[in-house]
Every structure is written in structure tokens, then in C-alpha cells.
Amino acid sequence: MEEYRIPLLGEEFPKLTVKTTHGVKHLPDDYKGKWFILFSHPADFTPVCTTEFVEFQRKKEEFDKLNCELIGLSVDQVFSHIKWIEWIKEKLGVEITFPIIADDMGEVARRLGMIHPNKGTNTVRSVFIVDDKGVVRLILYYPQEIGRNIDEIIRALKALQVSDKYGVATPANWPENPLIGDNVIIPPATSIQEAEERKKKEEAGEIKCFDWWFCYKPLK
């Protein structure tokens, strides 16, 4: 069996042709110009996975506003996915509108490092956030026994987009950080001259600093 190295942050997402509940898709090409989140679940018709899919769907409008598509995945077959989403609609009143990859041969899971032998033969709960240029920006792995926090995934997506747009960093728990609230962090100065300019900006009230290497400002 061919061994793959999982893509790393900052690398292009590998080109994959996948079977989904919405037909064949080509990743990342079919999502050019859009961000997408590919997330795997251990199996259809399992309680934790069901709660996650319902929550992803419930938050889908927020992902849409962020120009981000959702794609699920497990090693189940397409007919299993279809039956499961029918069950979710019938029993829970939620219609799953995003595609689910049927990776029944496990090829995609192996390529993306989603199967961890010490946790069984099913896919663990992986999350790949891929930007509108097809570059991997964030990777998360959760064990089967822990459901994901969908709000945290949305927060991370927003933070990545803010960082790209404004050239800033975001603090812990942003936008509710105990030290600086919803402000954003200015990258550290890279020269003596830049450090001196920071001091002038602080004196003028344009930015705030704990020190020259730790400055922040409102997101405007």
C-alpha cells in the first residue's frame, strides 16, 4: 500500500477526485475562489456524528457568509450516507444540504491521515480548513469519543480571514480575550526603526502596547 505524507499548513491541498452525495467532485479545483472545510466522521448512524452534522447544518448560513463550503467524509458508502441524512431529516427535522464524501476504499482518509490505527479502522474526527486558493490553513484531529465545537471552527475561520485581510494576528479566545478584548495584534517590529515608529504611533493613540513587541489595535 502506498504511503502518503499528510499535507502541511501552507501547502496546497492534494488534488483528489471523490464520490459524494452530490456526485463526483474534484478537490480543490471545484472550490476555486471559495474556502472549504473538509471534516471526517467515524461512521454514519452514530450518535456523536449525528449531533455534529446537525450542528454544522444549523451553522451553515454563517459558513456561507464567510464564503466557505462544507464537505463531510467517512469510509461509508454513498447509499449509507443517503439513508443517514434521510433519517436525520425524518427524525430530527434537519436537512443536510452539504455533500458527504463516500470514501469506502479509504483512499482519501489515508491520503489525509484520517485513520489512526490506535483508534481503530474508522476515520477520526479530522478538520481541514482550505482557503480560496486551495491552500491548507488549519488542521485539527479529534478522537471518536469527543464531538467537535462548531463555533470554534467558525471562530478559527474568521480569524484566518481577518489575518489575511488586515495582516494581523488574533489573540487567545479572540474576539473575547481577557487582555485586549476584541482588538487584534500587530506583528512584532522587525527592525529598530520600526520599533521606534511603534512608540510614536502609541504616543499618538493610534495603537496600544504592553511593550514594543506586543502592540495591538482595533480591527478597522
Distance from C-alpha of 161 to C-alpha of 175, rounded to nearest angstrom? 13
Examine the residue annotation and report whether 49 is marked as an active-site residue of this protein: yes
Type of residue at 143 = P
The secondary structure of 37-76, three-state, reads EEEECCCCCCHHHHHHHHHHHHCHHHHHHCCEEEEEEECC
Residue 40 CA to residue 159 CA, distance in Å, equals 22
All three cell numbers of 121, joined, read: 479502522
How many CB atoms are closer than 10 A to CB 164? Answer: 12
Q: Which position among 49, 68, 209, 215 bears the catalytic label?
A: 49
Catalytic sites, residue numbers: 49
